[in-house]
Amino acid sequence: MSKEFTALLEKLSIQENLLPEEATFAMKSILNGNASDAEVAAFLMGMRTKGETVVELTAFVEVMREASIVVEVDTKGAVDLCGTGGDKSGTFNISTAAMFVVAGAGVPVLKHGNRSVSSKSGSYDVLEELGAVPNLNKVQSEKMFNETGMVFMFAPNFHPAMKYVMPARRAMKLRTFFNMLGPLLNPADVENQVIGAFSHEAAGMMAQILANLDTKRAYTLNAHDGLDEVTLTGQSEIFELQSHLSNGSVTFDPKSLGYEWVEPEELLGGDAEKNAGIIKNIMKGESTDAQRNIVTLNAAFAIHAAGATDTLEEANRKAVKSVETGEALRKLNQFIKESQKVSKA
Tens-place pLDDT, residues 95-135: 999 999 999 999 999 999 988 755 577 899 999 999 999 99
Give the helix ranges, DSSP H, for 225-311. 272-284, 289-305
Alpha-carbon distance of 171 to 184, in angstroms, equals 23
Annotated binding residue 163 = no
Annotated binding residue 113 = yes
Annotated binding residue 253 = no
Annotated binding residue 157 = no
Q: Is the pTM of this model over 0.75?
A: yes
> Is the pLDDT score of 73 beyond 80?
yes
> Is the pLDDT score of 94 beyond 60?
yes
Annotated binding residue 277 = no
Positions of CATH 1.20.970.10 in the chain = 3-51
Q: What is the pLDDT of residues 137-190, one digit of tens each?
A: 999 999 999 999 999 999 999 999 999 998 998 888 888 898 889 899 999 999
Contact 172, 161 (CB under 8 A): no
Annotated binding residue 117 = yes
Cα 303 versus chain centre, distance = 15
As a whole number of Å, the CA-based R_g of the chain is 19
Annotated binding residue 255 = no
Annotated binding residue 104 = no
Cβ contacts of 41-46, under 8 Å, gap ≥ 24: 41/168, 41/171, 41/172, 42/9, 43/5, 43/8, 43/9, 43/12, 44/168, 44/169, 44/172, 44/176, 44/177, 44/178, 45/172, 45/174, 46/9, 46/12, 46/13
Annotated binding residue 228 = yes
Annotated binding residue 86 = yes
What is the fold of 3-51? Answer: 1.20.970
Query: What's residue 30's pLDDT?
Result: 96
Annotated binding residue 118 = yes
Residue type (1 letter), 165: V
Annotated binding residue 243 = no
Question: Residue 120 class from Cβ within 10 Å (0-12 exposed, 13-18 middle, 19+ buried)?
Answer: middle
Positions of CATH 3.40.1030.10 in the chain = 80-154+184-338
Residue 47: which residues within 8 A CB-CB, separation 6 or more? Answer: 12, 56, 176, 177
Annotated binding residue 95 = yes
Annotated binding residue 93 = yes
Q: Which CATH number fits domain 80-154+184-338: 3.40.1030.10, 3.40.50.300, 3.40.50.510, 3.60.15.10?
A: 3.40.1030.10
